[in-house]
Structure 1
Amino acid sequence: MPRTLEHFIRDTPVLREAALRVRALSRSMAAAPAGLYTLCYHHVAPGEQAGFARQMCFLGRYGTFVTADRAADLVASGTAGQGRHFLVSFDDGYADTHGVALPVLRALSIPAIVFLVSDWVDAPPGGDRAGYMDRAAVADWLAAGLDVGSHSASHRNLGRLAATEVAGELGRSRRDLEAMTGRPVRHFACPWGVAGTDFDPGRDPALARDAGYHSFHTTRRGVARGPEDLLLMPRHVLEPAWGLYQIDALVGGPTRAAR
């Protein structure tokens, strides 16, 4: 199947950059609609710490940062649309989430949640102990007042698993993380998170609910406002190296001149 023009632009860095700069001329976080914006980060490299801090300060001008529990409450009650709220999340539990992002969050008093792959805390992929948060890092994260959620037990693609296997991934991860942290684990982020490819939207959110999770996070862009979003939570995947205009272009709403 031939690639569409949109895919061609997306996959060509120079064209993608130009397209985002043009889009940013007519979109702004100041014009973004009310609701819950969940932000998804992966790596925050040491050289990206200042950029990450700049993004946090920028977003803080346009809304309120909330915890994962508060975010779920706002969505479940249908009151998320009464303001603009930001939930900061990190997937996979990379060491730089603790070593690079955490100091920024502490300094700015911003709540956040890290979605951990429970098996990787003690046995990281490829034996890369330095690349992932260990138990000491998780304890320090919690001591800073931040939250832990599940990113499954082993980071398998849920869409390729039988229902019993998905239930096992969800349940085991929650049990292991609660035993490790001594705290309830209420929120789940699906690995990769694309509906129909990485999970079954008609099956897996319900299995997560049955396993005791209050929310099921995906990677579709969007804004959560009501209870129908709780088990298919949208998230905006961001990179800390992005310029602020990229956030305006991809997360912001249309300005008055563009309407």
Structure 2
Amino acid sequence: MIQALKRLARSAGLERRHVEAARMFSERQALALAPRPSARTRGRILCYHSVGQPEFGVNDVPPARFRRHIELALELGYSFVSPAEIARTGGTARQLAVTFDDALKSVAAEADPILRAYNIPYTVFAVAEWSDHVHDWQKQQVLSWDDLGRLMEQGVEIGSHSATHRDFGELDEARARREFEVSRATMKARLGVTPDVMAIPFGQSRNWTPLADRIAREIGFTTIYAQAEDTRPPNTIPRTFITRFDDDRIFRALLRGAYDRWEEWTWVY
């Protein structure tokens, strides 16, 4: 059955990203309709990527929707604290925090003014090679180290998102170690700080291993964020993945825990 569906998708000219987006949309909608009582007592860390860069597909949240997320959370009685506070203390059930993976330009251009208007702290996780602007697309889409330095001066925490955004679930010890070491060394050279916090690239349960965890902590990372809640890898800090499909109904549902057992779905065909 699955193979037949894959053949049908190919025959219809659908690319993998189209199939993934359609599946994600349907799953988000369905789970929002199924109430899931939550006994959550800790805070929730929201994981965004871009805010107004549509080329990043399901990871991109339009600026108006991002603003609405913030306003809706406040209307519902939530307060915002730093990601570090929830990571350190667990927070409370009515506390939220905001993070951004990949250090994309729209974070500074679109998200930052909204968050500053509400005095909300946040953390950005940078991929070292991407912010080095090794490739042309990175110059166009990713914040430079100068950009990140300016955010740091304004109080934004900058963490690591690895050296090249590799899947640690597929890396041997030598390659994993290089990802951590190059990331820390580059951030020290460019920003003057050696990070001890990082977010796992892709961030799902299969993207992290006990080996990667051991090496990361040996090298000096003390706080490691996932991009999943109940299914996250052991010893990592949970985060709730936010998608472009998350309207008011879905956002309310995710705050109630509707997606705490959900992971971003990948279909290779």
Smaller-chain TM-score bracket: 0.7 to 0.9
> Which residue is 2:171 aligned to?
161
Q: Percent identity?
A: 25
SS in 2 for 1:128: helix
> Which residue is 1:51 aligned to?
65
> Which residue is 2:253 aligned to?
249
Number of aligned residue pairs: give it: 235
2-side partners of 1:13 and 1:239: how far apart? 9
SS in 1 for 2:43: strand
> Which residue is 1:234 aligned to?
238
Superimposed CA distance per residue, residues 214-259 of structure 1 (whole angstroms, 9 cap, x where no aligned partner) = 21111223499xxx96x322211102552121022233148xxxxx
1-side partners of 2:118 and 2:108: how far apart? 15
1-side partners of 2:83 and 2:257: how far apart? 23
Match of 1:19 among 27, 30, 35: 30
Matches within 5 A, 1:1-259: 2=2, 11-12=22-23, 15-16=26-27, 18-23=29-34, 26=35, 33-45=40-52, 48-60=62-74, 61-75=76-90, 80=91, 82-196=92-206, 198-200=207-209, 202-222=210-230, 231-239=235-243, 242-253=246-257
Q: Which has the higher contact order (CA 8 A, sep 6+)?
A: 1
Which 4+ residue blocks in structure 1 deviate beyond 6 angstroms?
A: none
Q: Mark the runs of 5 or more structure 1 residues left unpaired by the alignment.
A: 255-259
TM-score normalised by structure 2 residue count = 0.75
Aligned residue identity for 1:57: E
Superimposed CA distance per residue, residues 87-123 of structure 1 (whole angstroms, 9 cap, x where no aligned partner) = 2111111111111111111111111111000111122
- Say if 1:15 and 1:72 are closer, same or farther in 2 by CA, change over 3 A: closer
Aligned-pair CA distance for 1:126: 4.3
SS in 2 for 1:123: coil
Aligned residue identity for 1:210: E
TM-score normalised by structure 1 residue count = 0.78
Superimposed CA distance per residue, residues 22-43 of structure 1 (whole angstroms, 9 cap, x where no aligned partner) = 23xx368xx6622021111111
Aligned residue identity for 1:205: D
Q: Mark the runs of 5 or more structure 2 residues left unpaired by the alignment.
A: 4-18, 54-60, 259-269
2-side partners of 1:32 and 1:147: how far apart? 30
SS in 2 for 1:70: helix
2-side partners of 1:18 and 1:95: how far apart? 29
Aligned residue identity for 1:51: R
